[in-house]
């Protein structure tokens, strides 16, 4: 279940309803899929063959179709990151720059954990959304954010796109952002 940390105050927001209403106030979509649908053999597996990725997409096909029909996504795939990923540190360094996209960034976490750091409304500032298996998030287009892994450095997520070109990162230099 997702948890929020507001960077300026270190305040944490927990519990599904609180998290959902906070994210709603920040225009961030938050939904939940049944993480128990993941085949047991894949729940702790972070290096995946093409067949295994396909298996995950098949398991979650109803959820993917529902989300795609409601929100206009046309393509989807699976991303898996772990210490076995070549150049993981370099990749994370590249991820950890505040940026925006011209389409929303939607991720459904199906195994492991990850964090989105998002620029909220002026009174909130930057906040972290810590995500675990079953959490589905969409960061709206043009909203400054970045993604990183948590201490276990392992994640598998479904990514959905409207146009794959829409997902190019545009760097967002922000004097208000301080890494903490």
- Taking the C-alpha atoms of residue 14 and residue 6, their distance in angstroms, rounded to an integer, is 12
CB of residue 100 vs Fe ion: minimum separation in angstroms? Answer: 8
Nearer to Fe ion, 38 or 161 (CB): 161
For Fe ion, the binding residue among 103, 105, 128, 135 (CB under 5 A) is 105
Nearer to Fe ion, 40 or 173 (CB): 173
Half-sphere exposure of 21 (CA within 13 A, CB side): 5
Identify which of 102, 107, 121 has the alpha carbon closest to the alpha carbon of residue 172.
102
Burial of 149 (0-12, 13-18, 19+ CB in 10 A): buried
Is there a binding annotation on residue 32?
A: no
Local structure of residue 152 (DSSP, 8 states): T
Is there a binding annotation on residue 96?
A: no
Nearer to Fe ion, 45 or 119 (CB): 119
Write each residue from 115 to 154 as x if it is in contact with Fe ion (CB under 5 A), else as -, in one continuous string: ----------------------------------------
Is there a binding annotation on residue 101?
A: yes
The CA radius of gyration of the chain, in Å to the nearest whole number, is 16
Sole window of 13-21, 64-72, 101-109, 158-166 interacting with Fe ion (rule: CB under 5 A) = 101-109
- Taking the C-alpha atoms of residue 169 and residue 171, their distance in angstroms, rounded to an integer, is 6
CB of residue 105 vs Fe ion: minimum separation in angstroms? Answer: 5
Residues at the interface with Fe ion (CB under 5 A): 105
């Amino acid at each position: 279940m997702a948890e929020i940390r507001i960077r300026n105050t270190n305040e944490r927001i927990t519990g599904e309803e609180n998290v959902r209403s906070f994210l709603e106030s920040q225009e961030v979509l938050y939904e939940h899929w049944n993480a128990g649908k993941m085949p047991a053999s894949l729940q702790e597996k972070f290096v995946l063959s093409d067949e295994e990725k396909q298996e995950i997409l098949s398991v979650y096909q109803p959820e993917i179709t529902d989300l795609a029909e409601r929100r206009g996504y046309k393509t989807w795939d699976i991303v898996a990151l772990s210490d076995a990923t070549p150049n993981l540190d370099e990749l994370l360094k590249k991820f950890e720059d505040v940026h925006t996209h011209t389409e929303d960034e939607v991720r459904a976490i199906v195994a492991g954990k990850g964090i989105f750091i998002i620029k909220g409304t002026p009174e909130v500032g930057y906040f972290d959304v810590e995500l675990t298996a079953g959490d589905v998030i969409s960061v709206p287009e043009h909203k400054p954010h970045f993604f990183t892994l948590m201490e276990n450095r392992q994640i598998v997520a479904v990514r959905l796109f409207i146009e794959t070109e829409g997902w190019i990162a545009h760097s967002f230099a922000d004097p208000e952002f301080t890494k903490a």
